[in-house]
Amino acid sequence: MKRRNFIYLTGVGAAAAMLPAIPVFGKEISPEQALTYIDPAAKKILSDVALNAARSKGATYTDVRVGRYLNQYVVTREDKVENIVNTESYGIGIRVISNGSWGFAATDKMDKDSIAKAAELAVTIAKENARLLREPVKLAPQKGYGEVSWKAPIEKNTFEVPVKEKVDLLLAVNDAAMKGGVDYINSILFAVNEQKYFASTDGSYIDQDIHRIWPTFFITKIDKATGKFETRNALSAPTGKGYEYLDARPQDKIQTASGTLYKGRYDMLEDATQGARQLGEKMKAKSVEPGKYDLVLDPSHLWLTIHESCGHPTELDRVLGYEANYAGTSFLTLDKWESKKFNYGSKEVNITADKTEVGSLGAVGYDDEGVKCGKWDVIKDGILVNYQAIRDQAHILGLNASQGCCYADNWSSVQFQRMANISLQPGKAKLSIADQIKNVEKGIYIVGDGSFSIDQQRYNFQFGGQLYYEIKDGKIAGMLKDVAYQANTQEFWNSCVAICDESDYRLGGSFFDGKGQPGQVSAVSHGSATTRFNKVNVINTARKI
């Protein structure tokens, strides 16, 4: 849900004029400051102040996160740089258990007195809330790791690349699209660096350095005679990589009948050029005839369907009702898991949760409550076999350890259960995109993510895309527009009949997945290969006002 804030911030979309009124992600700093890391020894001293203060006020468990969150965004349109901002958010969040209840307090005043006061406030809140508890918090055991560290295995730190290089790239991208005949382009390079330090009374002191990057653009073409306009967004994916993501090699490209698709790395300039061409085609595309179609979904599109219809409903806090007041609950209730025979999808469907996949947005060494991360099955041969849990939920699943899904988007936010990378495993038999299309009689091939909406228990969804190609008798028969498909999650995944092989496996993802109150964002990747779903209901979205 926070995606909207991001769009305002970057001036993309209708509400550029709101810019001054929107709170920014953090304070702004100069680029060179972003390269100075805070010494873990200093962070350990601050953490110990909080741990000791909370303990002395009666906390039975405390964890502390000293966080430095850096964002950089470079925003351009056509031939202009609209904004270059570096922001930093630095502070401490202290979470305690006292009288069996959670308490949390955070401050950006990093002197010892202010930290001790924040720890005391966290304990006060916990004690005050204990009278509203039905049962005390039960934490899965967790050993302390001592002083350890983890760094994302990036090749090129985005924050070390000169701003000029980034500006030059985006302006070249804009130029390519404009030469290709688009009327407008907004392009953005967004980079994140989380430098976070975790300490707990279990005896862990964990220093981590996490990087994310998302280059993207939005192009618009207007038919002056009719006033109609169409748009096409970049086919890039936000990733847990460094600036090397923008250094695409031949092996990172997949050539299809529609154009180039990207695997692992991204050629932004090429995508802007082909995007302009495809947008021209989209302007002339046929409006879709509503009805049932076999859908062939590209990973640049399917990641979002996986995110909404499998990632969210398998979050254990939603299943249990902790998100009932906001994001909602889940149709994947515990009885369905206990039965060990709930057919979430067809036998082709194998979905894993993975906090370790290299280059993914969700990859970390340890989660935000000091649990070492791993990988596990969620849907196995179509059957629901597991969820995503954190320390105070593990006992509900009969687990004696957390699955490591705890995350807070800032030092000032309390950590809670967030989605792991949830990915559809590729098919075992050799199958290419061309093979998938060849096998379809009446279908639509969809590339790129578009409009998305799903109900609060994750049954009914509607998705659009960026590019829609009609498939007739095994061949692409031109582009369509005004396409959206509506389905029921279980019926949809049971209509999954074929998944391309490993060579087509690609990651998509979200930079701004919203959840919780107060709202927090998280970044998560979803892998898949091109997948076919039979007889899905497609609607026509064209209207007149």
Residue 125: CB minimum distance to other proteins, A: 5
Give the one residue of 153, 181, 291, 321 binding other proteins; rule: CB under 8 A: 321
Binding to other proteins by residue 491, rule CB under 8 A?
Answer: no
Give the one residue of 62, 195, 329, 421 binding other proteins; rule: CB under 8 A: 329
Give the one residue of 48, 108, 175, 252 binding other proteins; rule: CB under 8 A: 108
> In angstroms, rounded to a whole number, what is the distance separating the alpha carbons of residues 245 and 264?
7
Residue 210, strand partner residues:
194
Binding to other proteins by residue 36, rule CB under 8 A?
Answer: no
Residue 292: CB minimum distance to other proteins, A: 13
Residues 229-258 binding other proteins (CB under 8 A) are: 229, 231
CB neighbours of residue 194 within 10 Å = 21
- Which residue, 13 or 141, is less far from other proteins as judged by CB? 13
Residues 41-70 binding other proteins (CB under 8 A) are: none
Binding to other proteins by residue 358, rule CB under 8 A?
Answer: no
Binding to other proteins by residue 262, rule CB under 8 A?
Answer: no
Q: Please, is 542 exposed, middle or buried when counting C-beta atoms within 10 Å of its C-beta (0-12, 13-18, 19+)?
A: exposed
Residues 391-450 binding other proteins (CB under 8 A) are: 412, 414, 416
- Which residue, 77 or 372, is less far from other proteins as judged by CB? 77
Q: Where are the beta strands (DSSP E) in 21-79?
A: 27-28, 61-77
Pairing mode of beta strands 421-424, 416-417: unpaired
Cβ-proximal residues to 199 (8 Å cutoff; 6+ apart), any chain: 43, 44, 47, 48, 50, 51, 63, 64, 66, 205, 206
Give the one residue of 35, 42, 324, 429 binding other proteins; rule: CB under 8 A: 324
Q: Please, is 263 exposed, middle or buried when counting C-beta atoms within 10 Å of its C-beta (0-12, 13-18, 19+)?
A: middle
Helix/strand/coil for 344: coil
Pairing mode of beta strands 406-407, 375-380: unpaired
Q: Given the rule CB under 8 A, which of 120-128, 246-254, 262-270, 361-369 is the region that contacts other proteins? A: 120-128
Give the one residue of 146, 325, 341, 398 binding other proteins; rule: CB under 8 A: 325
Helix/strand/coil for 103: strand
Q: Which of 61, 115, 60, 125 is nearest to 93 (CA)?
A: 115
- Which residue, 15 or 399, is less far from other proteins as judged by CB? 15
Give the one residue of 47, 98, 99, 101 binding other proteins; rule: CB under 8 A: 101
Residue 133: CB minimum distance to other proteins, A: 5
Query: Per-residue contact track with other proteins, 140 to 169, x per CB under 8 A?
Result: ---------------------------x--
Q: Given the rule CB under 8 A, which of 107-115, 201-209, 428-436, 499-507 is the region that contacts other proteins? A: 107-115
Q: Given the rule CB under 8 A, which of 277-285, 298-306, 321-329, 437-445 is the region that contacts other proteins? A: 321-329
- Which residue, 147 or 455, is less far from other proteins as judged by CB? 455
Cβ-proximal residues to 4 (8 Å cutoff; 6+ apart), any chain: none
Q: Given the rule CB under 8 A, which of 146-154, 203-211, 478-486, 499-507 is the region that contacts other proteins? A: 478-486
Residue 15: CB minimum distance to other proteins, A: 5
What torsion do the CA atoms of 216, 288, 283, 474 make, to the nearest 10 degrees? 80
Residue 161: CB minimum distance to other proteins, A: 16
Binding to other proteins by residue 470, rule CB under 8 A?
Answer: no
Query: Per-residue contact track with other proteins, 507 to 536, x per CB under 8 A?
Result: ----------xxx-----------------
Helix/strand/coil for 203: coil
Q: Report the greatest alpha carbon distance in the chain.
A: 74
Q: Which of 72, 98, 95 is nearest to 84 (CA)?
A: 72
CB neighbours of residue 404 within 10 Å = 28
Residue 332: CB minimum distance to other proteins, A: 12
Are 522 and 388 contacting, i.e. CB atoms less than 8 angstroms apart?
A: no
Give the one residue of 484, 507, 524, 538 binding other proteins; rule: CB under 8 A: 484
